[in-house]
Chain A
Amino acid sequence: MARFIVRRIVHMLLVLWAISVLVFLIFNVVPGGGTEGQVLRIAGRNANEVTREQVKKDYGFDQPMYVQYYEMMKKTLNGELISYSDQRNVRDEIVKGIPATASLVIGAGIIWLTVGVLFGVLSALYAGKFVDRFLTGLAMIGISMPVFWLGLVALYYLTYKIELFPPGGYVPLKEDPVDWAYHLMLPWMVLSVLFIGFYSRLLRTNVLDVENEDYVRTARAKGLSERQTLSRHTLRNAMIPIITLFGLDFGATFGGGAILTESIFGLQGVGQYTAESIGALDVPPIMGVVLYGAFFIVLLNTIVDILYAYLDPRIRLEA
């Protein structure tokens, strides 16, 4: 088991390294995003030859590519990465955004897991009946909507037409817990809709699959009530893929997947910072944010893998 864990962690570091190289290449080799483009963006479009040469030297763009990569990674790991456009420290900006992103994602995660499981179980229990059709229909609509469009429409109807919610913004939890929750209510719901759709559909299929297993029949045959069979045998097995998915989705949204929801509701989190840096083609923050996001995804992937290996010894031998 220890060997497996070590191997997974080495793999995780390799993936992160590959991602950093890929991001560096995307923004440096691609025309317009490359050295010339960056120099122009820093020095300004109208800068003369001398200024441009100076910028090139100051920012190290005259160095060979691998030196530039090395320098950037060194700064990233030491937390000294500075934005080209506004000279602010990237790590500080990300750290500043984490409370808002964490509040959004943790709250939404709790909602989408509970509601998704509830809907999925109800659909499976009443498979083919009206409840099932209604919930499946809702789930289908949920996964067919662009998240940002749902956010816009919700903002229009629920904050402008009926003044039910505040029109966006983030209030720190420490300042005012009630206002914090009040401001996050709508973003939580909007972010959850898509995942509720996915989870309830997946859980419905899984529950129906597991219902056909012999051990469920055995459980019923030995006299367990429907309720006990469901909670102790069916759900316990049908939930395994859901928990895996939850780990991955949670990592992905925490790592910057909530860009759209954050921008629409002006939450000032990591996602919005990402959107702004990408809009400005500001390479250092993009590098920082992508690595931050990838770190969460890879980390949760690794945790899920290790948990699986712990539960199922066959995987340990295979990998």
Chain B
Amino acid sequence: MSQAAALVFILIVASCITAPLYAEHVAGTGPNDEHVTKKIEQDGEQVDVVAPDGKPIGPTWGKEYFMGADNLGRDVMVRILYGGRNSLLVGLSAAVITLVLSILAGLLAGYFRGGVDRMISGLFDVMWSFPVLLFGIALGTALAIGGLNFWFIHLESGSIWIPTIVIGVVYVPYLGRTLRGQVLSLREKEFVEAAVAQGMGSPRIMFSEILPNLASTLLVFSTLIVANNILLETALSYLGAGIRPPEPSWGNLIADGADRIVTAPHLTLAPGLATVLTVLALNLFGDGLRDALNPRAKVRLR
């Protein structure tokens, strides 16, 4: 089951990566190309892509407009594939940010204990008490308006990296707390004592002695974090605090479709199903991974 899930996820990623090929050779249109006045042939008849009353064509299941068109005559399937590139990119890069930050925080807090631990744990407590979605929207909206100029990071407003960073930061306490707990107990093990006795420095003990022991936790968490990131991206974009239109993403596509759900339900259903399929595949894969690596571990993200 989990192999099949992994395969499905890889297929989704592959088809999103090859989206330009599909756009050029199959659909024959780009993700933002509008065809309001175009007509296509369906069952031997010429049909408007966008009817005079503004109602877009539904799924044709053919080469062009496989998943139908939106109100501007854009090909929904092409937009889903391109949107998937953004959603997956955000999901994966945000997971990398979460992993790096929580590994650093967890190692520092668990290894040095004392003041460092109190500071990091205190920060986690504060972030933990923010409602995730509220924190994400607050940060996302503030940054989306003005861009980000912090230290060495300079981002234009509307950059895809803003939601990525927001999502990446939001989940740090969830993983960071777990890692800190594990480091605290690993630190008391004999192999750390041996490393200290050999004269290894703290960074080396943390990264080459303790870190490898966290591998299974990290592996299991990372698939689930990517899954949750994709869900959070859709929610943020839906509320206008994520990826900015016209740049497509699964969240944006669902939000676009929401206003027209009565006349053109395919605009909402199709990107939503793409999201559910991807997240489900990741969750199933993560579940299998967890059972294989550590059957008793209990992992949960909100």
Instruction: Give A residues with C-beta under 8 Å from B.
Output: 11, 14-16, 18-19, 22-23, 26-27, 30-34, 37, 140-141, 143-149, 152-153, 155-156, 160, 198, 202, 205, 209, 241, 245, 249, 252, 255-257, 259-260, 263, 274-275, 278-279, 281, 286, 289-290, 293-294, 297-298, 301
Contact = CB atoms under 8 A, between A and B. Distances in A.
A149 B131 contact: no
Given A26-B139, A34-B146, A156-B262, A294 B131 contact: yes
A290 B138 contact: yes
A202 B147 contact: no
Nearest to A140: B283
Contact of B254 (A27, A149, A241, A274): A149
A144 B268 contact: no
12 contacts: A23-B138, A26-B142, A30-B145, A146-B235, A146-B276, A147-B235, A152-B254, A198-B300, A260-B133, A274-B134, A278-B141, A290-B134
Give the secondary structure class of B's interface. Answer: helix
Given A145-B276, A152-B268, A31 B149 contact: yes
A26 B138 contact: yes
Interface string B121-148: 0100110111111100111011101111
Contact of B142 (A33, A160, A256, A259): A33
A33 B280 CA distance: 37
A295 to B, nearest CB: 9
A149 B126 contact: no
B261 A155 contact: yes
Q: How large is the interface on B (under 10, 10 to 19, 20 to 34, 35 or more residues)?
A: 35 or more
Contact of B272 (A11, A33, A149): A149
Given A15-B125, A34-B146, A155-B261, A290 B130 contact: yes
Contacts of B298: 202, 205, 241
A19 B129 CA distance: 8
Contacts of B234: 146, 148-149
Nearest to A145: B276
A293 B134 CA distance: 9
B241 interface: yes
B129 A144 contact: no
A141 B280 CA distance: 6
Given A149-B254, A256-B131, 15 more contacts: A26-B138, A31-B147, A32-B142, A140-B283, A140-B284, A141-B276, A146-B254, A148-B234, A160-B261, A160-B262, A252-B132, A278-B241, A279-B141, A281-B142, A297-B129
B100 interface: no
Contacts of A30: 142-143, 145-146, 148
B302 interface: yes
B275 interface: yes
B93 interface: no
